[in-house]
Amino acid sequence: MHDRKVTPDMVPIIKLARIKKIPYSWISGYYAGLNFGRIADVMKGRMFSDIPPAKQLPPDFPAT
């Protein structure tokens, strides 16, 4: 299986979702199998640390 790459447009959504305590599994599912490690890389500032969180989640994001 190929590890999906995180793109800059994904980062604000990932950051806001984690701020809202949305589980990694929901974020991974939204981005079609994004590896939990890539989500952690974003949250720990190892990737795209300069991109701020989104103001709101997309309307099609899984609801809590």
**Neighbouring residues of 51: CB distance < 8 A, sequence distance ≥ 6:** 8, 11, 12, 15
41 burial level (CB within 10 Å; 0-12, 13-18, 19+): middle
Task: Select the more confidently predicted residue: 9 or 4.
Answer: 9
| Confidence tier at 4 by pLDDT (50, 70, 90) | confident
pTM for the model: 0.92
Give the span between the Cα atoms of 43 and 39, in whole angstroms: 6
Q: pLDDT tens digits, residue range 35-53? A: 999 999 999 999 999 999 9
Residue 6's alpha-carbon distances to 32, 37, 41, 52, in angstroms, are: 11, 11, 10, 15
